[in-house]
Chain A
Amino acid sequence: MIQTIIKRDGRCVLFDREKITDAIFKAAKAQGGSDRETAGELARQVEALLENQEKDNTPTVEGIQDIVEKVLVENGHARTAKEYILYRAQRTRVRDMNTRLMKTFEELTYQSAFENDVKRENANIDGDTAMGTMLKYGSEGAKQFYHMFVLNPEHSKAHLSGDIHIHDLDFLTLTTTCCQIDIDKLFEGGFCTGHGFLREPNDVRSYSALACIAIQSNQNDQHGGQSIPNFDYAMGKGVAKTYRKRYRSNLAKALFLMGGLDGEQIVKSISKQLKLNPVLAANNGYEAQELLLLEAYLPREKARQAQAFAVKEAKRETAKDTYQAMEALIHNLNTMHSRAGAQIPFSSINYGTDTSPEGRLIVQSLLEATESGLGNGETPIFPIQIFKVKEGVNYNPEDPNYDLFQFACRCSAKRLFPNFSFLDAPYNLQYYKPGHPETEIAYMGCRTRVIGNAYDTSRQIVYGRGNLSFTSVNLPRIAIQSKGNLDLFFEKLDREMELVIAQLNERFEIQSKKKVRNFPFLMGQGIWLDSNRLGPDDEIGEVLKHGTLSMGFIGLAECLKALIGVHHGESEEAQALGLKIIGHMRDRMDKETQATRLNYSLLATPAEGLSGRFVRLDKKKYGAIPGVTDREYYTNSFHIPVYFPISAAAKIRLEAPYHALTNGGHITYIELDGDPLKNLDAFERVVRYMKECGVGYGSINHPVDRDPVCGYTGIIDEVCPRCGRREGEPVSVERLKQLGCWNESLANCGYCGDPYEERDRNGSPNSYT
């Protein structure tokens, strides 16, 4: 007689036949059965068989389940047996998942980011901090939950096996990717962060502070980044307000000093009488009208002098305020926390086309502050800055903002930012309407691009829109499986694309059911286009249709290698095939857009975490195939492989046509040798060449190294060119003193500023007139 059984975890428990009856009855019920007595009879048979088989041994749970299957089949209960087996498999899967999840949690708990790649999946998140690890627990737990209970099993399988990659899967049921925030509209009349109300800002410093808060608040409502598309236009309004205030307070001072008058009272009364305001450009006739009124208090000549003083001082102070506002913005965006402190907000700003003196002052100050760097001269990594290049505005020497374009090149040559976007590329130019900044293409720093709008063709604009979700296709795998057969390749690709479209669509269905109250800032404050028309309990499905659903891809280079043995940097035939493949993918997206009026787009996936994941899986499956799976990463999107020797011009020329095809976003970068600051002319020529070739978004990489001990910023190979130490080596304080870069009170405690650079800094940036 069976007394006890052994559970999976090794524990011994009392045998209970009723449990077997329950399991069998449950399986029968799922198939429409309702006869518990039969279930009991079958359980008795199981027990009898067990006693016979196991004799002296204590039976295990697995052993019992095997016998249950056998008994069911032998008694002719085929359908119940099938149900039982399925149930058993499902339970095994859940158990496996639980074990795996606990294993992941264990690693997250006891390994540092240095040891654990999962903790470094996204360089922007500090996986070593308490909040960073807490986020990872949540993220890993959520992913497993979705695989078991939410995702279509077909999509789950495709993701787990590495056919496709569903990005930001941990947020599957929660939110959307990113948004271009129109801060101009947001600031009008003030706004609420969800934790408190902020009045409409009244000078450029508050504009800067509130811009950071807007980015921070919205970042907590979405899983991707945040961008401001109209940085110069919107912040310029803050400059205008500052100038107005500064002009009036200086005029009041002048009136007091020159005529012993109650300046404040006079200025107040004048501002009540005049409809105009003083402006930086001094081109609206304000001064003349004001002069007439001032003549009531003091002689004309003296009034003129007072005005001249006010203009001069107001300009100086406004420039100073603006510089400090931009400096504060950069500092804030590099230090303020988001997502429970594990991250700083992923921020981007687009600028360069506002030709007003206010907008220009913003850009100039921002670039100056970026050049100066952070507190110790470190290169700021946020916000991602994007300079919009446009003919007639800033591209040619006769253009009004050409000086800013050149300044942007200089700044980028030192600090890697800004990147450059090109409004004249035909696919960007088609939306451009002069005088309508919302039609100027703006990018998310990572590369995401949203402008075309099939859902509402009257609003093909950038503001208040973004990507909803994206899923990438593993191109190299399809190529490997096709074994050089192009027909087979396209057939497989088509099947994969159907799968991705279905998955994007299912995710969109989930997102659509969300309500405004789930996104207190993004939707509650009307950031997202048309969300201001909704109430807190309304579903957001309709307004989400302004967003994009993107299919991405990785490893075109490896894909071509696997198909025809060469990549598109090596042969024209490969380039033609590459364009055919990517063009084919774009056509499929366009077709889906036409059919559904949803904005399906093709994205050259950024692929930070993905670059290693796909190739690891493929190497395991297909071995190390030369040029395909023999490195630790797949090449980014349509890029020419980073290890392939090619001239800057050829790389730009070959990659440009893919920009036209990838309407969901793209970027091209080149690696420049040496110190580009010493050859600014070449730097600008590269940017111009990108524009002429039809690149949409590009940037130039060059090494930016820093020795935190002596503060040197520039290129460091093995040895610091300033203090002569090698990595990790100490240097004598005597030497640092000789170099003039020793600070006794700080003891150069590893994070020294650059005294040389600080000496060269323009302390009060009054160069602007």
Chain B
Amino acid sequence: MISMNNTKTTVMEPQVTLTMPMPHMMPKDDRMVGEGVGFERIRRITGYLVGTLDRFNDAKRAEVEDRIKHPLSRRVEL
């Protein structure tokens, strides 16, 4: 089973933090990017996919969080 804890996090507007105006002049680049940017998680909803989980309705979100993996046993061998 895979941890889905972080799927609850809202995907925020991407923000770019630019602290140094002329990066090519700098020996080391200590700018930071990605603050507030979430991961995109694509899941199948009812046969089709949706962009990311934040478009799911409440019930479907709960269902996706409950989904557990189906182990492949030897019985799959034909």
Contact = CB atoms under 8 A, between A and B. Distances in A.
**Is A bound to B?**
yes
Interface of A: 113-114, 117, 120-124, 126, 346, 378-379, 381-382, 384, 416-417, 419, 445-447, 606-609, 611-613, 615, 631-633, 636, 642-651, 667, 669-673, 682, 685-686, 688-689, 692, 697, 699, 701, 703-709, 715-718, 720, 725-734, 736-737, 744, 747-751
Interface string B40-78: 111111111111001111111011001111111101111
B78 to A, nearest CB: 6
A732 B46 contact: no
Contacts of A726: 6
A298 B50 CA distance: 59
Nearest to A419: B47
A716 B63 contact: no
B70 A750 contact: no
Given A692-B78, A705-B39, A381 B48 contact: yes
A671 B68 contact: yes
A98 to B, nearest CB: 26
A669 B44 contact: yes
A708 B14 contact: yes
A149 B72 CA distance: 54
Contact of A672 (B37, B60, B70): B70
Contacts of A636: 46, 63
Contact of A731 (B32, B39, B59): B32
Interface of A is mostly: loop
Nearest to B57: A120
B54 A114 contact: yes
17 contacts: A123-B56, A384-B48, A606-B47, A608-B46, A633-B59, A643-B66, A645-B68, A648-B73, A650-B75, A673-B71, A704-B41, A704-B42, A731-B32, A748-B16, A748-B33, A749-B16, A750-B15
A703 B68 CA distance: 11
A632 B68 contact: no
Given A384-B48, A607-B46, A615-B59, A647 B70 contact: yes
B34 interface: yes
B25 interface: no
A737 B48 CA distance: 36
A748 B34 contact: yes
B46 A446 contact: yes
A750 B39 contact: no
A378 B41 CA distance: 11
Given A416-B44, A720-B39, A750-B34, A689 B29 contact: no
Contacts of B38: 727-728
Nearest to B8: A727
B63 to A, nearest CB: 5
A647 B75 contact: yes
Nearest to A642: B67
Most buried by A among B10, B16, B17, B18: B16
Given A114-B10, A648-B76, A670 B47 contact: no
Contacts of A686: 72, 76
Contact of B50 (A123, A697, A747): A123
Nearest to A701: B44
A730 B9 contact: no
Contacts of B69: 671-673
Contact of B46 (A120, A381, A447): A447
Given A447-B47, A749-B14, A734 B63 contact: no
Contacts of A417: 49
Given A672-B70, A750-B34, A633 B62 contact: yes
B50 A124 contact: yes
Contacts of B2: 673, 703, 715, 717
Contact of B70 (A122, A648, A730, A737): A648
Interface string B1-28: 0110110011010111110000100001
Contact of A631 (B10, B62, B76): B62
A705 B60 contact: no
A647 B73 contact: yes
A732 B63 CA distance: 36
Given A643-B66, A646-B70, A703-B41, A732 B30 contact: yes
Most buried by A among B29, B33, B44, B50: B33
A123 B62 contact: no
Contacts of A692: 78
B34 A701 contact: no
A643 B1 CA distance: 10
Contact of A633 (B16, B35, B63): B63
A736 B34 CA distance: 11
A612 B56 CA distance: 11
Nearest to A346: B48
Contacts of B76: 647-649, 682, 685-686, 689
A609 B63 CA distance: 12
A632 B30 contact: no
Q: Nearest 10 A-B pairs (CB), nearest first?
A: A612-B59, A750-B14, A632-B62, A709-B34, A606-B46, A730-B32, A673-B69, A123-B50, A648-B70, A730-B35
Nearest to A609: B57
B39 A706 contact: yes
A576 B62 CA distance: 29
A642 B66 CA distance: 6
A731 B49 contact: no
A15 to B, nearest CB: 50
Given A648-B76, A699-B44, A611 B50 contact: no
Contact of A688 (B58, B67, B72, B78): B78
B48 A649 contact: no
Given A633-B63, A685-B76, A730-B35, A705 B17 contact: no
A341 B77 CA distance: 47
Given A123-B55, A446-B47, A631 B78 contact: no
B60 A123 contact: yes
Contacts of A382: 48
A140 to B, nearest CB: 15
A562 to B, nearest CB: 19
Contacts of A705: 39-42
B38 to A, nearest CB: 5
A720 B40 CA distance: 11
A554 to B, nearest CB: 11
A705 B44 CA distance: 12
A609 B58 CA distance: 9
Given A446-B48, A447-B46, A733 B73 contact: no
A699 B49 CA distance: 11
Given A730-B32, A732-B30, A734-B28, A744 B73 contact: no
